[in-house]
Chain A
Amino acid sequence: MKKGVMRPGHVQIRVLDLEEARKHYVDLLGLIEMDSDDQGRVYLKAWTEVDKYSVILKEADEPGMDFMAFKCLNEAVLDSLAEEIRALGMTVTELPAGDLKDCGRRMQFVVPTGHTFELFATKEQTGKWGINNVNPEAWPRGLKGMQATRFDHCLMYGDDLEGNLTLFRDVLGFDLSEQVIDPEGNRIALFLTASMKAHDVAFIKHPEKNKFHHASFYLDTWQDVLKAADLISMTDTSIDIGPTRHGLTHGQTIYFFDPSGNRNEVFAGGDYHYPDHETVTWKAEQLGKAIFYHDRQLNERFLTALT
């Protein structure tokens, strides 16, 4: 049931070298640099997004994800959802407006898998980059690299998937669009959506808490994924796997790493989800095909290389 959570709003990613990261996310992925702050953080967006930014880069000693945020319909939703999260016995911290540049207050909490999430409802809207909102042209000139169109979702690894399912489905109003079930009937992967997209966030079972697997960006076509693969080779960027197709969500994909070892994905296509759709199930015995539909086997790195 929809509870007023709209879409992924932003992700803050820790990097070892800000200049290397800036080059990667701007020149290769094609994100647009929008701002920076007195903490040295850099704010980026993909060109079709209407909000001012969706990716925040921060230099640190340890790569990984600081937090991922969802944008909600309005400020009243923030208060009601914070109340419901607290009723589960979890702590919710309200961060004041302006803590992130040009962003309203944020409700921040740590989910059962140990990852930090936040909800917000207000952020400066600068509109689609390079495109007028009246009689808009098809796309802006001057985009770089892969020309990523939007920040799409994150995948995280952690232990308590059932705890996350209760929180995201029953409290935050996400649907479980797809899942992976082991032979004993336990869920080992959750694909959750607050929209028509196949996933807005996903979790895979892993013994450690709070591990980051990837941040994903949307491209329009399979041809764009192949062009991304060419750019990865041209720039000698660290590749993980692809181009290939996922069984889960059926997206066409390629995985690679930023210069600090955080995994990125760009993908195209994939399934859609309506609230009356039954959850799609993959069985763990077919996990290879579920993750990489063509190879039908996992590379070890996909399971172990995390930040």
Chain B
Amino acid sequence: MNAQRHFQIQVTNRQQAFSVPEGELLLHAMEKACQQAIQVGCRGGGCGLCKIKVLEGAFHTKRMSKAHIKEHEAEAGFALACRVFPESDLVIESDHFNDLSTQQTA
């Protein structure tokens, strides 16, 4: 039996790192690891508190509130950490909640 894969998550603005088992949600894994690198809100893709920018790496997401992740933001790598499944090691930036500069349409 193969050991479960883990992905390393580097949070550049907080100089913190933690690992996420494959198939687990990023924010959920961070909370289980007792790390505080990303703000935790509703954990359901609704409130936007855990908004991050993914700088490097592959991931997919569950549906996220359009109020917090507009289409052009999703294309630019913004996501809600509670809805992100990492597919590789990631380099991310947290603390993008209510970051109005990212919300303007391109």
Interface of A toward B, CB cutoff 8 Å = 16-17, 61-64, 238, 240, 257-263, 300-301, 304-307
Contact = CB atoms under 8 A, between A and B. Distances in A.
Contacts, number: 66
A61 B65 contact: yes
Nearest to B42: A261
Interface in B17-51: 39-47, 49
Contacts of A260: 44-46, 65
Interface residues of B, number: 18
B1 to A, nearest CB: 25
A63 B44 contact: yes
Contact of A307 (B40, B46, B82): B46
A262 B42 CA distance: 7
Given A260-B46, A261-B47, A304-B49, A16 B41 contact: no
A62 B66 contact: yes
A16 B46 contact: yes
Contacts of B44: 16, 63, 238, 257-262
B63 interface: yes
Given A61-B66, A62-B66, A62-B67, A304 B45 contact: no
B63 A261 contact: no
A307 B65 contact: yes
Contact of A306 (B43, B47, B64, B82): B47
A304 B47 contact: yes
Contact of A16 (B45, B47, B97): B45
Nearest to B66: A61
Given A301-B49, A304-B49, A304-B97, A261 B43 contact: yes
Contacts of A257: 42-44, 46
14 contacts: A16-B44, A16-B62, A17-B62, A62-B67, A63-B44, A238-B43, A257-B46, A260-B44, A261-B42, A261-B65, A262-B46, A300-B39, A304-B41, A304-B47
A63 B66 CA distance: 9
B66 A307 contact: no
B45 A305 contact: no
A300 B39 CA distance: 10
A63 B46 CA distance: 6
A261 B46 contact: yes
A17 B46 CA distance: 12
A305 B42 contact: yes
A101 B9 CA distance: 48
Interface centre among B46, B47, B63, B67 (most CB of A within 10 A): B46
Contacts of A240: 42
B91 to A, nearest CB: 26
Nearest to B83: A16
B67 to A, nearest CB: 5
Contacts of B82: 261
Given A238-B42, A257-B42, A305 B67 contact: no
Contacts of A61: 63, 65-66
Nearest to B67: A62
A244 to B, nearest CB: 18
Nearest to B64: A16
A260 B44 CA distance: 4
A70 B42 CA distance: 27
Interface string B53-69: 00000000011111100
A263 B47 CA distance: 10
